[in-house]
A and B are shown apart, each in its own frame.
Chain A
Amino acid sequence: MTALASGQIRFHWRSSSLLAATSIAGIAAFTWPLFTRPRGSENLAHSGDAPWVFIVLVPLLVAILLSELADGALDAKAVAMLGVLVACGAVLRAPTTGVTGFTGVFFLLIPGGRVFGRGFGFVQGALTMFASALLTGGVGPWLPFQMLCTAWVGFFAGCLPRAQGRSELALLATYGAIAGLVYGLVMDMWFWPFGTSGTQLHFVAGAAITENLRRFWAFHLASALGFDLPRAAGNALLVLVAGTPVLAALRRAARRAAFGAPVHFEPHGP
Chain B
Amino acid sequence: MRPRSVHPLAWWIWALALATAALRTTDPLLLALLIAVAWLVVAARRSNAPWARSFGSFLRFGVAIIVVRIALQMLFGERLPGHVLFTLPHYAMPSWAAGVTLGGTVTTESVVAAFNEGLQLATLIACVGAANSLASPYRLLRVVPSVLYELGVVVTVALSFAPQTVVAAAGIRDARRLRGRPHRGLRGLRGLAVPVLEGALERSLDLAASMDSRGYGRRGDLTDRRRRAGQTATLLGTLAIIVGVFGVLDSGAPFVLGLPMLGVGAALLVASLRAAKSSSTRSRYRPDPWGLPEWLTVGAGVSALVSLVAAGHLGIDGLHPDYSPLVAPALPLLPAIGILAAAVPAFASPRPPVETT
A residues in contact (CB < 8 Å) with B = 14, 17-18, 21-22, 24-25, 28, 32, 35-37, 39-40, 42-43, 46-47, 49-50, 52-54, 57, 60-61, 63-64, 66-68, 70-72, 74-77, 79-88, 90-91, 108, 123, 127, 130-131, 134-141, 194-201, 214-215, 217-218, 221-223, 237-238, 241-242, 245-246, 249-250, 252-253, 256-257
A64 to B246, CA, bound (A): 19
**Chain A binding surface SS class:** helix
Binds A, one of B191-199, B313-321, B340-348: B191-199
**Also in contact, A84 and B148, with CB within 8 A (given A137-B133, A249-B194):** no
A198-B249 in contact (CB<8A): no
A84-B65 in contact (CB<8A): no
Other-chain contact of A86, B158, B212, B231 (Cβ < 8 Å): B158
Quick one: which of B78, B164, B194, B201 has the most chain A CB within 10 A? B201
Other-chain contact of B153, A50, A61, A67, A79 (Cβ < 8 Å): A79
Please give the distance in Å from B80's CB to the nearest CB on chain A: 8
A24 to B310, CA, bound (A): 36
A215 to B23, CA, bound (A): 25
The verdict on B137 contacting chain A, using a C-beta distance below 8 Å, is: yes
Listed A/B pairs (20) with beta-carbon separation below 8 Å: A37-B252, A54-B245, A63-B148, A77-B212, A80-B157, A86-B154, A88-B200, A90-B162, A131-B155, A137-B57, A138-B54, A138-B132, A140-B128, A195-B69, A197-B117, A198-B113, A198-B117, A223-B68, A237-B186, A238-B189
- Which residues of chain B are near A81, meaning CB under 8 Å? 201, 204, 208
A86 to B209, CA, bound (A): 19
- Which residues of chain B are near A135, meaning CB under 8 Å? 51, 137, 159, 162
A250-B157 in contact (CB<8A): no
A37 to B193, CA, bound (A): 50
The verdict on B223 contacting chain A, using a C-beta distance below 8 Å, is: no
Residue of B nearest to A47 (CB): B249
**Also in contact, A200 and B132, with CB within 8 A (given A57-B245, A66-B151):** no
B residues in contact (CB < 8 Å) with A = 23, 51, 53-54, 57, 65, 68-69, 72-73, 75-78, 93, 97-101, 110, 113-114, 117-118, 121, 124-125, 128-129, 131-133, 137, 140-141, 147-148, 150-151, 153-159, 161-162, 164-166, 169, 186, 189-190, 193-194, 196-198, 200-201, 203-205, 207-209, 211-212, 216-217, 219, 231, 234-235, 238-239, 241-242, 245-246, 248-252, 269
- Which residues of chain B are near A46, meaning CB under 8 Å? 248-249, 251
A253-B162 in contact (CB<8A): no
Other-chain contact of B158, A54, A71, A84 (Cβ < 8 Å): A84
- Which residues of chain B are near A84, meaning CB under 8 Å? 157-158, 161, 200-201, 203-204, 207
B238-A134 in contact (CB<8A): no
- Which residues of chain A are near B164, meaning CB under 8 Å? 87
- Which residues of chain A are near B156, meaning CB under 8 Å? 83
Given pairs A40-B251, A137-B54, A249-B194, 6 additional interface contacts (CB within 8 A)? A39-B251, A68-B234, A79-B153, A79-B157, A84-B204, A194-B121
B245-A53 in contact (CB<8A): yes
Other-chain contact of B154, A91, A127, A141 (Cβ < 8 Å): A127
B239-A222 in contact (CB<8A): no
Please give the distance in Å from B253's CB to the nearest CB on chain A: 10
A71 to B204, CA, bound (A): 21
Please give the distance in Å from A94's CB to the nearest CB on chain B: 8
A17 to B239, CA, bound (A): 10
A17-B98 in contact (CB<8A): no
Please give the distance in Å from A171's CB to the nearest CB on chain B: 19
Please give the distance in Å from A176's CB to the nearest CB on chain B: 15
B252-A39 in contact (CB<8A): yes
A32-B249 in contact (CB<8A): yes
B77-A199 in contact (CB<8A): yes
B186-A83 in contact (CB<8A): no
A67-B151 in contact (CB<8A): yes
- Which residues of chain A are near B153, meaning CB under 8 Å? 79, 83
Quick one: which of A39, A54, A88, A197 has the most chain B CB within 10 A? A88
Please give the distance in Å from A99's CB to the nearest CB on chain B: 9
B161-A83 in contact (CB<8A): yes
Please give the distance in Å from A232's CB to the nearest CB on chain B: 17
Please give the distance in Å from A57's CB to the nearest CB on chain B: 6
Please give the distance in Å from B28's CB to the nearest CB on chain A: 16
A136 to B54, CA, bound (A): 7
Please give the distance in Å from A150's CB to the nearest CB on chain B: 14
Closest 4 CB pairs between A and B?
Answer: A83-B157, A137-B54, A87-B161, A43-B251
B100-A200 in contact (CB<8A): yes
B159-A141 in contact (CB<8A): no
Please give the distance in Å from A130's CB to the nearest CB on chain B: 6
**Also in contact, A200 and B200, with CB within 8 A (given A79-B211, A80-B208, A137-B54):** no
A25-B245 in contact (CB<8A): yes
Please give the distance in Å from B329's CB to the nearest CB on chain A: 18
Other-chain contact of A76, B125, B128, B198, B211 (Cβ < 8 Å): B211
A200 to B101, CA, bound (A): 9
Other-chain contact of A134, B69, B124, B155, B205 (Cβ < 8 Å): B155
A237 to B193, CA, bound (A): 14
B162-A195 in contact (CB<8A): no
Quick one: which of B98, B100, B156, B248 has the most chain A CB within 10 A? B98
B216-A79 in contact (CB<8A): yes
- Which residues of chain A are near B231, meaning CB under 8 Å? 14, 68, 71
